[in-house]
Amino acid sequence: MKTLAILRHAKSDWSDGRSRDFDRPLNARGIKGAGLMGDYIKSNHLQFDAVVASPAARVVATLEQIETRLGIKLGTQWDRRIYLASSATLLELLREQSDTKSVVMIAGHNPGLEDLILEMVPDDGTSPMRDHVEEKFPTGALAILKIDIASWKDLGSAHAKLELLVRPRDIDPDLGPEVRH
């Protein structure tokens, strides 16, 4: 049995139109949301044997906020392939993980992360959380998938059970979607 944690970066700042997409920082809501996700991970005793992440500024900042709340370094492996990757690329990268690692977190971007969840969790009506992901896997969200495999090399589609989906707005409703009037 393997466990895959999927974390989307927190809300980023679009105010500086001169910044390259790769260099966009978190905005104030993103900083708060990432910190709350760190608190959630800590209070629920979630632990990861490995963390692989996109080196984009908003992912780095998200993980830094989480590490601050956890009071530990995650030992993140930065992998440029995750930046704006498709679900196929993400699956390929995850298949490279050592089988000594039972719980792996991948941190990155949509649409790849959302597509990865939708590809791995069967659309058979048994997972209401999958329906939420199908609507949107929002910034700062964390999904935990349980996968009945012995080796990461066997990772494929429709193998996973979505055990947990938590979004920053589930912790603090003020971090929910902005309503425009």
Whichever domain contains 39, its CATH number is: 3.40.50.1240
Q: Residue 64 belongs to what domain range?
A: 2-13+24-174
- pTM of the model as a whole: 0.94
Q: Tell me, yes or no, whether 71 lies in a domain.
A: yes
Q: For residue 106, is pLDDT > 80? A: yes
Q: Tell me, yes or no, whether 140 lies in a domain.
A: yes
H-helix or E-strand spanning residue 35: helix 28-43
**pLDDT by residue (tens digit) across 122-167?**
998 888 999 999 999 999 999 999 999 999 999 986 589 999 999 9
Q: For residue 43, is pLDDT > 60? A: yes
Q: Tell me, yes or no, whether 155 lies in a domain.
A: yes
- Mean pLDDT in the chain? 93
Whether a cis peptide bond, with omega within 30° of 0, leads into 138 is no
* Residue 19: CB atoms within 10 Å: 14
Q: Tell me, yes or no, whether 180 lies in a domain.
A: no
DSSP 2: E
Q: For residue 114, is pLDDT > 50? A: yes
* pLDDT at residue number 158: 58
State the alpha helices, DSSP H only, in 84-167: 87-95, 112-120, 128-135
Percent of the chain with pLDDT over 70: 96
Window from 82-96, 117-131, 164-178 with minimum mean pLDDT = 164-178
Reported confidence tier of residue 14, pLDDT bands at 50, 70, 90 = confident
Q: Tell me, yes or no, whether 19 lies in a domain.
A: no
CA atoms within 13 A on the CB side of 101: 19
Q: How far is the C-alpha of 6 from the C-alpha of 144, rounded, in Å?
A: 6
Q: Tell me, yes or no, whether 18 lies in a domain.
A: no
Q: How far is the C-alpha of 161 from the C-alpha of 145, rounded, in Å?
A: 5
* pLDDT at residue number 3: 97
**pLDDT by residue (tens digit) across 60-76?**
999 999 999 999 999 99
Q: Tell me, yes or no, whether 36 lies in a domain.
A: yes
Number of domains the chain is built from: 1
Reported confidence tier of residue 181, pLDDT bands at 50, 70, 90 = very low
The answer to whether 62 touches 26, Cβ cutoff 8 Å, is yes
